[in-house]
Amino acid sequence: MVMRGMKDLSKKINFWEIFFFAILFIFSSFLMWKTFRVNSSGNMQVATRVWSDFAATIPLIRSFSYGSNFPIQYPIFAGPPIRYHFVFFAVVGFLEKIGLRIDWALNGLSVLGFFLLCFVIYLVGKTVFKSRSVGILSVILFLFNGSFGFLEFFKRHPLSLNTFTDIIKNTEFSSFGPYDGKIVSAFWSLNIFTNQRHLSLAYASFIFLVLSIFYFSKHPKKFTWTLSLLLGIFLGLFPFIHLAVFAMMGIAIFTFFILYPKIRVKLIVLGLIAITLAVPQYFYMGKSANQTELFNPGYLIGNKTPFGILTYWIMNLGIGLLLAPVGFIFAKRSQRKVFLPFLILFLVGNLFRFSAEVAANHKFFNLFVIGMNFYVALTLVKIWRVKIFGKIAAILLLIPLTLTGIIDFFPIVNDRHIELLDYPNDPKVSFIVENTDPDSTFLNSQFLYHPASVAGRKIFMGWPYFPWSAGYDTHERGQKLDALYSSNNKVFVCNLLLQSNIDYVTVQDTSNDRDFPDINIDFFEQNFRLIYKDSESEFRIFDVSSSCR
């Protein structure tokens, strides 16, 4: 069985591997604690590069710790069932609820997930390719991406005696396509793991599944019905953990079903159990309100000609695109089979679109690159073994394979923090926590980090990008938000508030917020019962139930 196999492997772990794992754990801890923490005053410090994404993360966590989110909804789009994989953040919320500070809860799980991802990548190199060197190199190639993004960096900072200083003082990612107009994607840097804290644990689970099936293909008698059942349950619970990775796991299982005839029956059982458990979760989340064409080739590629597609992937995958096929040739037949599910993920990500946000397909390519790197690492190991010239060549090749990743690590290191007042330091948050029902819903007067969100209450609509990308109808909701804040008709406003199950309305001056509609403050002052007013910010809360009778 897999765990017994892992136990056997642990007996073969030497001192240098333990040292390597310790470095990985320290690195994982630095990455997560650098980007989010609570200071000595009890306020959250959020790195600027995760500030936007955490405007959805914090409300989701707090809906489980300070709020009462059951049946589970998306707390920044109150009403319909949640369409976002929430389990990771629910666990963080429950940990905070029982007394663990939010940074320890979130960073603890994040560090564990990222470390496990690095560990299981190493494990594939060691077990599948029978080489600790392949394992170590695969982890290094994962941590420091091999795109040609460094070319953009050197356009801004030409090579000179100051290059080393330019790199370690760097505050901008080398390339952030498509958002900065450049060809190299924003989704190769470690920034995706500091922003999407649940992602590394999901990727680790995918790699673990691949490793498990590979192990069972070698030892089919150890693939018992019990293990088939357990793996089926493991997969079946994944839609609420990470829906996209669940789909990728399904692709991997189908691929291995074709490749490994000796364990096909067990894989069928595994798949049926997973589907049985997954279907209710899928139906609970419901159909996306933002329909897109499933077949939509091209991903984020601007020039969708064959030359444009080839150019895009050369720039984004770097020389690894040339070295991986060499490693594939060097690999044994059983080792080559492991690459097939990763290759299919690459093809699927290029050909299909599963959500309104086409950039979300980056998850397919992140996993593909992890798979590709095993064969790049194998190539480097083979070259290294060719006497002195091979060693020099391997070192020289490793430079462009990691340079962009090294450059892009320092914007995380050098990032500054924004302080977010938290309970009980923020009087607005304190009032909401102490005087409103944990299950209440607020009509919010700002999109990001609304006091009700920090207090764990649900809001009508947060920053539209987040619910839109999750499949909610933000256009209709936005029209209602505008109507509620601009109307002079109390009957209309009350009816819409009650229909939307809104318990409280918050009001503030939004004249300087170009993204938010102007609020008719006088209307609410004259027609609704005021229950709270902040003297400094003029932030006000009105009670709906006592005002709309």
- What percent of the chain stands above pLDDT 70? 98
CB 336 within 8 A of CB 328: yes
Backbone angles phi, psi at 420, to 5 degrees: -115, 115
Look at residue 291 in the predicted model and tell me its pLDDT: 84
Token pair listed for 142? 């994962």
Place of tokens 């920090």: 454
HSE-up of residue 327 (Cα within 13 Å, Cβ side):
26
Place of tokens 């539209």: 464
Backbone angles phi, psi at 375, to 5 degrees: -85, -30
Q: Name which of 540, 514, 523, 428 is nearest 485 in CA terms.
A: 523
Look at residue 7 in the predicted model and tell me its pLDDT: 55
> Using CA atoms, how far apart are residues 394 and 388, in angstroms rounded to an integer?
10
> Using CA atoms, how far apart are residues 445 and 457, in angstroms rounded to an integer?
14
**Contacts with 86 (C-beta within 8 Å, 6 or more apart), sequence order:** 60, 72, 240
CB 9 within 8 A of CB 126: yes
CB 532 within 8 A of CB 433: no
> Using CA atoms, how far apart are residues 277 and 280, in angstroms rounded to an integer?
6
Neighbours of 176 (CB within 10 A): 20
Residues in the chain: 549
Q: What is the CA radius of gyration of the chain?
A: 25
User: What is the torsional sign of CA 480, 485, 487, 492?
Assistant: positive
Look at residue 10 in the predicted model and tell me its pLDDT: 52
Token pair listed for 442? 């607020």
> Using CA atoms, how far apart are residues 156 and 175, in angstroms rounded to an integer?
11
**Beta-bridge partner residues of 352:** 295
The three-point CA angle 303-308-311 to 5° equals 135
**Beta-bridge partner residues of 417:** 47
- pLDDT tens readout for residues 364-417: 999 999 999 999 999 999 999 998 999 999 999 999 999 999 999 999 999 999
What is the DSSP code (8-state) at residue 82?
P
Identity of residue 249: M
Q: What is the pLDDT along the chain (549 residues), one digit of tens a residue?
A: 455 555 555 557 899 999 999 999 999 999 999 999 999 999 999 999 999 999 999 999 999 999 999 999 999 999 999 999 999 999 999 999 999 999 999 999 999 999 999 999 999 999 999 999 999 999 999 999 999 999 999 999 999 999 999 999 999 999 999 999 999 999 999 999 999 999 999 999 999 999 999 999 999 999 999 999 999 999 999 999 999 999 999 999 999 999 999 999 999 999 999 999 999 999 999 999 998 899 999 999 999 999 999 999 999 999 999 999 999 999 999 999 999 999 999 999 999 999 989 899 999 999 999 999 999 999 999 999 998 999 999 999 999 999 999 999 999 999 999 999 999 999 999 999 999 999 999 999 999 999 999 999 999 999 999 999 999 999 999 999 999 999 999 999 999 999 999 999 999 999 889 889 999 999 999 999 999 999 888 899 999 999 998
> Using CA atoms, how far apart are residues 242 and 465, in angstroms rounded to an integer?
19
- pLDDT tens readout for residues 240-294: 999 999 999 999 999 999 999 999 999 999 999 999 999 999 999 999 999 889 9
Place of tokens 């809104």: 502
> Using CA atoms, how far apart are residues 77 and 464, in angstroms rounded to an integer?
9
CA distances from 237 to 230, 247, 421, 482 (A): 11, 12, 35, 38
b/e for 404-416, b at 16 or more Cβ within 10 A?
bbbbbbbbbeebe
Q: Name which of 54, 60, 22 is nearest 38 in CA terms.
A: 54
Identity of residue 322: L
Identity of residue 92: V
> Using CA atoms, how far apart are residues 16 and 518, in angstroms rounded to an integer?
62
Token pair listed for 403? 């340079």
Q: Name which of 412, 327, 407 is nearest 372 in CA terms.
A: 327
Q: At what angle do helices 2-11 and 199-218 cross, to 10 degrees?
A: 90
**Contacts with 489 (C-beta within 8 Å, 6 or more apart), sequence order:** none
> Using CA atoms, how far apart are residues 404 and 138, in angstroms rounded to an integer?
16
Place of tokens 């914007």: 411
What is the DSSP code (8-state) at residue 352?
B
CB 111 within 8 A of CB 32: yes
What is the DSSP code (8-state) at residue 295?
B
> Using CA atoms, how far apart are residues 530 and 546, in angstroms rounded to an integer?
10
